Chains A and B, each alone.
Chain A
Amino acid sequence: MRKHMASFEIDCTAYLNADGAPLGDLPDFAGDTETVVALYRAMVRTRAFDTKAIALQRTGRLGTYASCLGQEAIGVGAASAMEPGDVLLPSFREHAAQLRRGVTPVESLLYWGGDERGSDFAGPRNDFPVCIPVASQFPHAAGVALAMSLNREKAVAVAIGGDGSTSKGEFYEALNLVGLWTLPAVFVINNNQWAISVRRREQSAAKTLAQKAIAAGMPGEQADGNDVIAVRDAVSRALARAREGAGGTLIECLSYRLGDHTTADDARRYREDEEVKAHWKEEPIARLRAWLVAEHGWSKTDEESLLRGAADEMDAAAEAYLATEPEQAASMFDHLYETLPGDLTTQRAEVSDG
């Protein structure tokens, strides 16, 4: 005898089509002009940051940088749903979320320009710095969520990783625990379809990445990652669930990496320009702009003023970054331990400038 033991469904949330036309009823917050304009501003600001960072790298004034071009709605949607007391644990591509959380462009440029002080954020003091070893931030999120839960904080740990990160053991191990212990953690996947040169379909035979949550005994869903309203809505619902003590959620946001993996990569080696061009028609900023123009009276003057303001802010940030004096060489010792062990004072003296 065989009997049916389990089945599952995965839903995908989407509100605006690629042209910015509503697909149906929108969530309540979408009716508030101030809220949706703020989402738009945050995405435009992120793109201005991205453009500036790449320009600085191309002219030898920034280190290797991972662009988030085309994926701005994911970070902005997720971060805008979060409370200040929540904790963000971003991968290296989530500038949108970091900026929206209050990391300054100067801090971020400092980090990508090779200065550790860039991760000493003045703003979200409990947020984690970007995580470069893929998926290793998910166990941290489980630990932060455990601490929040033990401290009765009513806060949520939000980790963001790429599609490739869902193939890693640390992703599964952490997901399993969040499900098992009903921890207040939300895992957001920026599925931009590419892990450097490996396509999403070459990463996993799973039909969706969201369904990986099912094996962990927790909800998983998709959202249109080019639709900031959909991302914000899905993450808001997940955060509310987590705050109520109902546990975590995995949210796979479907988007597309319009840029190279990093400035050290040349995506033309492994994908056709035609494919990229087709995805430009779905990118999140033009889509929201079309809808803002149609539904929220967004004018040409509003647009020009926003673009100019964002460009000016990033010009000023770049100047401030470039004008930042490097740390003293001995600083490499100063945060190794709370108190520097005796023998290391000799090494420290060797590089000391003063």
Chain B
Amino acid sequence: MAELTLVEAVRAALGRALEEDPKVILFGEDVGIDGGVFRATDGLVQRYGFDRVRDTPLSEALIAGMAVGAAAHGMRPVAEVQFMGFIYPAIDQLVNHASRLRTRTRGRLTCPMVLRAPYGGGIHAPEHHSESTESMLAHIPGLRVVVPSSPARAYGLLLAAIRDPDPVVFLEPKRIYRALREDVNDDGTALPLDQAFLLREGSDVTLVTWGAMVVETLEAASALAGRGIQAEVIDLATLKPLDTATILASVAKTGRCVIVHEAAMTAGLGAEVAAQIAERGLTSLLAPVRRVAGYDTVMPLPRLEGRYMPGAGRIVLAVEDAMAFA
């Protein structure tokens, strides 16, 4: 057992996957000698060689498309896009090929690939390096979208993603790459995909979130507990497909729900969560579902990003609002 940061846990999972399966290969921009701009692949090329850990040219569409081709031909590619802001040329490959190769060949060809990308704001990065556009990806049938929120979950979920027989986009919340350490047992044990994690039990309100916002949401839950409000905190972890059972069971218990995400509000994944509750859990609601999200603006540059990112204060206010309703 070692105390690892989230990015170290990602590296441990990648190393474990390379170790246990010769079909696993890594490629992306600067993932070799440089070890990735966040050091997620640090040391792996030295251990596993240039054949299996490869620097690619600057070509995001190629990186994703090459992963599709290699996966369909029997490999287990784990490709990296350096920042989510540069994933868009790769989306053609995700929408048109990775997500549908199994369907369109009736299972003859499959696409067991992982596309990793750091995402999200709050690290004072340059323009185009801070967005959270995961709901675009979560809209694509046939894809899995997974977001870890702690070192242990990063390790277990990434291993599960690599072993999964279908394509997974694995979005890493870079703001908490090094924010906390956690005991991670590098024994190759995966965590289940398609399942939300109950991080804190409570009876008054359900807080649904994922990724880096788990930190602020747990902080808000602690603050609320000091005021006698018991918040239940759910980390969705897999955004596609959504674990609605866990959400609905919690809301049935608490009667209130506040959804927290860093991505822009409109058509964000929070809307889908709210719609699921409206369709299947309306009668258990004691207050309207609230969303605390990024504004529907262009992600500001670093000077204003603090005002854009939802903080614990906004979450507490939304919960108090929900508690005060009728």
The interface on chain A, measured as residues whose beta carbon lies within 8 A of the other chain's beta carbons, has a size of 44
Contact with B along A266-302 (1 / 0, CB 8 A): 0000000000000000000000000000000000000
Of B7-15, B103-111, B316-324, the segment with at least 4 beta carbons within 8 Å of chain A is: B103-111
| A43 beta carbon closer than 8 Å to chain B | no
Residues 281-337 of A contacting B (Cβ, < 8 Å) = 332, 335-337
Q: Shortest Cβ distance from B133 into chain A, in angstroms?
A: 20
Set of chain B residues within 8 Å of A143, measured between Cβ atoms: 65-73, 75, 77
Alpha-carbon gap, A128 to B68, bound state (A): 11
CB pair A128 B141 closer than 8 Å? no
Q: Shortest Cβ distance from B281 into chain A, in angstroms?
A: 14
Set of chain A residues within 8 Å of B245, measured between Cβ atoms: 342
Residues 205-219 of A contacting B (Cβ, < 8 Å) = none
| B166 beta carbon closer than 8 Å to chain A | yes
Of B54-62, B123-131, B210-218, the segment with at least 4 beta carbons within 8 Å of chain A is: B54-62
Contact of A142 among B69, B92, B96, B242 (CB under 8 A): B69
Please classify how large the interface on chain B is, using the bins under 10, 10 to 19, 20 to 34, 35 or more.
35 or more
Set of chain B residues within 8 Å of A337, measured between Cβ atoms: 102, 142, 144, 165-166
| Contacts A139-B65, A180-B57 given; does A150 touch B194 at CB 8 Å | no
Contact of B108 among A125, A136, A332 (CB under 8 A): A125
Alpha-carbon gap, A195 to B43, bound state (A): 47
Set of chain B residues within 8 Å of A119, measured between Cβ atoms: 104-106, 108
Q: Shortest Cβ distance from A167 into chain B, in angstroms?
A: 14
CB pair B71 A136 closer than 8 Å? no
Alpha-carbon gap, A343 to B166, bound state (A): 17
Set of chain B residues within 8 Å of A120, measured between Cβ atoms: 105-108
| B244 beta carbon closer than 8 Å to chain A | yes
| A144 beta carbon closer than 8 Å to chain B | yes
| A170 beta carbon closer than 8 Å to chain B | yes
Alpha-carbon gap, A139 to B52, bound state (A): 18
Set of chain B residues within 8 Å of A144, measured between Cβ atoms: 69-70, 72-73
Set of chain A residues within 8 Å of B241, measured between Cβ atoms: 341-344
Of A17-25, A70-78, A171-179, A231-239, the segment with at least 4 beta carbons within 8 Å of chain B is: A171-179
Closest to A145 in B: B69
Q: Shortest Cβ distance from A145 into chain B, in angstroms?
A: 8
Set of chain B residues within 8 Å of A338, measured between Cβ atoms: 102, 110, 165-166
| A65 beta carbon closer than 8 Å to chain B | no
| Contacts A119-B106, A343-B244 given; does A176 touch B194 at CB 8 Å | no
CB pair A139 B106 closer than 8 Å? no
Alpha-carbon gap, A140 to B144, bound state (A): 20
Residues 137-186 of A contacting B (Cβ, < 8 Å) = 138-148, 150-151, 157, 169-170, 173-174, 176-177, 180
| B89 beta carbon closer than 8 Å to chain A | yes
Alpha-carbon gap, A335 to B108, bound state (A): 10
Contact with B along A336-352 (1 / 0, CB 8 A): 11100111100000000
CB pair A128 B109 closer than 8 Å? yes
Alpha-carbon gap, A180 to B62, bound state (A): 13
Contact with A along B158-182 (1 / 0, CB 8 A): 0000000110000000000000000
| Contacts A338-B166, A343-B244 given; does A139 touch B64 at CB 8 Å | yes
Contact with B along A121-143 (1 / 0, CB 8 A): 10001101100110010111111
Set of chain B residues within 8 Å of A157, measured between Cβ atoms: 69
Contact of A335 among B52, B68, B97, B107 (CB under 8 A): B107
| A260 beta carbon closer than 8 Å to chain B | no
| A87 beta carbon closer than 8 Å to chain B | yes
| B25 beta carbon closer than 8 Å to chain A | yes
Contact of B62 among A151, A177, A335 (CB under 8 A): A177
Q: Shortest Cβ distance from B31 into chain A, in angstroms?
A: 15
Closest to A180 in B: B57
| A58 beta carbon closer than 8 Å to chain B | no
Alpha-carbon gap, A336 to B245, bound state (A): 21
| A117 beta carbon closer than 8 Å to chain B | yes
CB pair B59 A173 closer than 8 Å? yes
| Contacts A139-B64, A177-B57, A177-B59 given; does A147 touch B70 at CB 8 Å | yes
Set of chain A residues within 8 Å of B149, measured between Cβ atoms: none
Alpha-carbon gap, A116 to B57, bound state (A): 34
Q: Shortest Cβ distance from B138 into chain A, in angstroms?
A: 13
Closest to B110 in A: A338
| Contacts A119-B105, A125-B108, A147-B75 given; does A170 touch B61 at CB 8 Å | yes
Alpha-carbon gap, A123 to B144, bound state (A): 30
Set of chain A residues within 8 Å of B108, measured between Cβ atoms: 119-121, 125
Closest to A119 in B: B105
Contact of A174 among B62, B92, B106, B110 (CB under 8 A): B62
| Contacts A120-B108, A139-B61 given; does A87 touch B103 at CB 8 Å | no
Set of chain B residues within 8 Å of A139, measured between Cβ atoms: 61-62, 64-66, 68-69, 93
Alpha-carbon gap, A87 to B109, bound state (A): 12
Set of chain B residues within 8 Å of A343, measured between Cβ atoms: 241-242, 244
| B20 beta carbon closer than 8 Å to chain A | no
Set of chain B residues within 8 Å of A342, measured between Cβ atoms: 194, 241, 245
Set of chain A residues within 8 Å of B242, measured between Cβ atoms: 343
Alpha-carbon gap, A128 to B108, bound state (A): 10
CB pair A146 B69 closer than 8 Å? yes
Set of chain B residues within 8 Å of A145, measured between Cβ atoms: 69
| B313 beta carbon closer than 8 Å to chain A | no
Residues 84-128 of A contacting B (Cβ, < 8 Å) = 87, 89, 116-117, 119-121, 125-126, 128
Q: Can you list the 4 inter-chain pairs with the closest CB atoms, starting with the nearest?
A: A143-B69, A139-B65, A140-B69, A341-B241
B residues contacting A by CB (< 8 A) are 25, 51-52, 56-57, 59, 61-62, 64-75, 77, 89, 92-93, 96-97, 102-110, 141-142, 144, 165-166, 194, 241-242, 244-245
Listed by A's residue number, 23 A-B pairs whose Cβ atoms lie within 8 Å are A119-B108, A133-B97, A136-B65, A136-B92, A136-B96, A139-B61, A139-B62, A139-B93, A140-B66, A140-B97, A142-B66, A143-B66, A145-B69, A173-B57, A173-B65, A176-B62, A177-B56, A335-B102, A337-B165, A338-B102, A338-B166, A342-B194, A342-B245
